[in-house]
Amino acid sequence: MQGIPLSLLNNSQVSAAGINNVDVSAVREENDRALLDLIKGISNGETLLGKVLSSDEASYTFKTLDTGVTINAKAENGVILTKGATILFEVSKLSDSEITLRPLNVNTSSSVTAESALKAAGLPVNNRSLELTVRNMEYGNPIDRKSLTESYRDVALNPETPVKYIVDLQKMQIPVTNENLEQYKAYLNMKNVFVEDFSEIASALSDSLTEIQEPAQNSENLSFPKIMSNIETVEEFTVALDKNETMPELSEAVKALAGEVREEINKLTVPAHTATPQTDMPKDEVASLFKQPAVKETELPERLLAETSTKHTIPEETAANLSERLKTGLKEVFDKFFTEHLTLNEQELPDKVKIKDLYEKLYTETRKISSALEEAVPKENPAVPKITLLNNNIDFMNALNHFIPYVQIPFRGEAGAKAGELYVYRNKSGKGMENDEVSAFLHLDMDHLGPTDVYVKMRGQNVNTEFTLADEASLDFIEKHMDYLDKRLSDKGYSLTTEGKVKERTKTPIEEAFEQSISKVLIARTSFDARI
């Protein structure tokens, strides 16, 4: 997948030829705003169709044909695009304010071949069909009539989906469904982390169990019936959990929290009065009403019920605070459960059986939590679709694993739950690189160092590492503390040589994994900070 990587420059450098000087500033500001909106709304793998307005050895100016946004970019490998050419650019998004672009159809011969193949297959020739054909050519897929027609069918059925997503799934032999397309989009945009799902599910569960209840009519205190209703819902949830008999820790923790809040309410609640019935009914008739087991409360005179009921009072602010305490406590309980029971610690990480068991627990226990929630809150709530999304992620990862040996490992360390992702590449024999050389590429998203790439080559006991970081400060920090890594490897009998450089990231790990899937390379990505 060779191409010309382009990076956006400051749009103030865009030529304003033909525009009156008095209007230049306003035009630039309007274009810059449109450009930022364009970048924010675009995802990795999507495309922009642009016409080259000017070109030299270092930079290019082109205008997108659909939105009319003018973009100034620099070329990173010195290849000049032809002025006036219409180019389809693939987007690699680095942030909400920065992207890199790769021309797909810069090769004239490939464009002509793609157009001819489409005409031979009787398919329409447009931007999406041309991109489909060019991508299939890049991937080494056949572009005969039958193959191209079958590939185009999914593109036609998903007109709003980037062509790249569709062709990539086809290449990996993953069914092109809405669920799989959404999951692949998340992977390309690095939004597929289980730990983030855990946090969102915990929040949604606590919200669902403590949602605002409709207070009783004519209630003197609106917060009191709400908190009591919340506690009852939480207790119903634990009853449903107990039916599963697989999550006693979660059930007991939720029960304990609900019990604490109920006990505090009991201490604060003050009976306003317990009145003696005042009614015109004869005493023996009143007594007989209470003695009749078949008589329901609703059948008693309203005045009698009102005057014999025990009223409870509790300060409005106190009741509201207890309700918030229940909600916050539930979030903490769920977070703790997910961290302790649905992640692995350092000792468990190398154990394949532990990883397999973890995924079985992830899949089954989150579904049981969802089922218990539906029993306690029998209506639509935000936690159920989030749990479904987590399970879809597991299903998709299992399908992805057939093309790219891959596993995402929820990991718990001293700083809490984090996420690790591992991409593995082997040749058909399952051995390492030629001459017993093993290569590894790690991408780290760290809290303090930012995006960090580590390329490792190991032959025998010799380890060569190349660090690529986002800025000089991060590089200086790594270099100052490299002795720690050197010593630790030395203690294990390895010899280490290192090299460091500063360079901006241009591809996400999943893109690296996909493009190098036929290479004998080990690629890993983690999103937790490694403190030295």
pLDDT bin (cut points 50, 70, 90) of residue 526 is very low
**Tens-place pLDDT, residues 187-202:** 887 776 777 788 888 9
Q: Which residues have C-beta within 8 Å of that of residue 517, sequence separation ≥ 6? A: 403, 404, 425
Give the rounded percent of residues in the chain with a pLDDT score beyond 70.
Answer: 69
pLDDT bin (cut points 50, 70, 90) of residue 11 is very low
**Tens-place pLDDT, residues 293-343:** 444 444 444 443 444 334 456 778 888 888 899 999 999 999 998 888 888
DSSP-assigned beta bridge partners for residue 89: 48, 103
* pLDDT top residue among 438 and 92: 92
Residue 186 has pLDDT above 80, yes or no: yes
User: Which pLDDT score is estimated for 15?
Assistant: 37
3-state secondary structure 427-454: CCCCCCCHHHEEEEEEEEEECCCEEEEE
Residue for token pair 């675009």? 42
User: Which pLDDT score is estimated for 60?
Assistant: 82
- Among the ranges 137-141, 200-204, 420-424, 437-441, which has the highest mean pLDDT value? 200-204
Q: Which residues have C-beta within 8 Å of that of residue 13, sequence separation ≥ 6? A: 59, 72
Residue 432 has pLDDT above 70, yes or no: no
3-state secondary structure of 83: coil
| Lowest mean pLDDT segment, chosen from 72-76, 108-112, 154-158, 392-396 | 108-112
Domain coordinates of the chain in residue numbers? 6-103, 108-171, 425-532
Residues 503-511, mean pLDDT to the nearest whole number: 69
Q: How many CB atoms lie within 10 A of CB 360?
A: 10
The CA–CA distances, whole Å, from 122 to 88, 119, 135 equal 22, 5, 18
Q: Which residues have C-beta within 8 Å of that of residue 482, sequence separation ≥ 6? A: 498
| Lowest mean pLDDT segment, chosen from 183-197, 249-263, 382-396 | 183-197
Say what the pTM is: 0.66
Q: Which residues have C-beta within 8 Å of that of residue 403, sequence separation ≥ 6? A: 171, 172, 173, 174, 517
* pLDDT top residue among 294 and 254: 254
Looking at the domain 425-532, which fold is it? Answer: Transcription Regulator spoIIAA (3.30.750)
| Lowest mean pLDDT segment, chosen from 38-42, 101-105, 153-157, 482-486 | 101-105
Contact 181, 165 (CB under 8 A): yes
Q: What are phi and psi of 427, to 5 degrees?
A: -80, 180
Contact 211, 330 (CB under 8 A): no
Q: Which of 515, 523, 387, 407 minimizes the C-alpha distance to 455?
A: 523
* pLDDT top residue among 444 and 490: 490
User: Which pLDDT score is estimated for 5?
Assistant: 47
pLDDT bin (cut points 50, 70, 90) of residue 290 is very low
The tally of CA atoms less than 13 A away on the side-chain side of residue 208 is 26
Residue 148 has pLDDT above 90, yes or no: yes
User: Which pLDDT score is estimated for 151?
Assistant: 95
Contact 421, 401 (CB under 8 A): no
Give the span between the Cα atoms of 248 and 18, in whole angstroms: 73
* pLDDT top residue among 171 and 381: 171
Q: What are phi and psi of 30, to 5 degrees?
A: -65, -40
Contact 494, 527 (CB under 8 A): no
Q: What is the DSSP letter of 122?
A: T
Q: Which of 323, 328, 330, 329 minimizes the C-alpha distance to 223?
A: 323
Residue 281 has pLDDT above 70, yes or no: no
Contact 336, 212 (CB under 8 A): no
Residues 398-410, mean pLDDT to the nearest whole number: 77
Give the span between the Cα atoms of 371 and 243, in whole angstroms: 10
Q: What are phi and psi of 72, to 5 degrees?
A: -110, 130
Residue 43 has pLDDT above 90, yes or no: no
Contact 372, 237 (CB under 8 A): yes
Residue 223 is which amino acid?
Answer: S
User: Which pLDDT score is estimated for 210?
Assistant: 86
Token representation of residue 61? 């100016």
Buried b (16+ CB within 10 A) or exposed e, 486-520: beeeeeeeeebeeebeeeebbbbbbbbbbebbeeb
Residue 264 has pLDDT above 70, yes or no: yes
Token representation of residue 274? 């317990």
Residue 175 has pLDDT above 90, yes or no: yes
- The CATH class of 6-103 is mainly beta
Q: What is the mean pLDDT of the chain?
A: 75
Token representation of residue 517? 């899937």
User: Which pLDDT score is estimated for 365?
Assistant: 85
User: Which pLDDT score is estimated for 340?
Assistant: 85
Q: Are strands 522-526 and 437-446 parallel, antiparallel or unpaired?
A: parallel
User: Which pLDDT score is estimated for 152?
Assistant: 95
User: Which pLDDT score is estimated for 379?
Assistant: 74
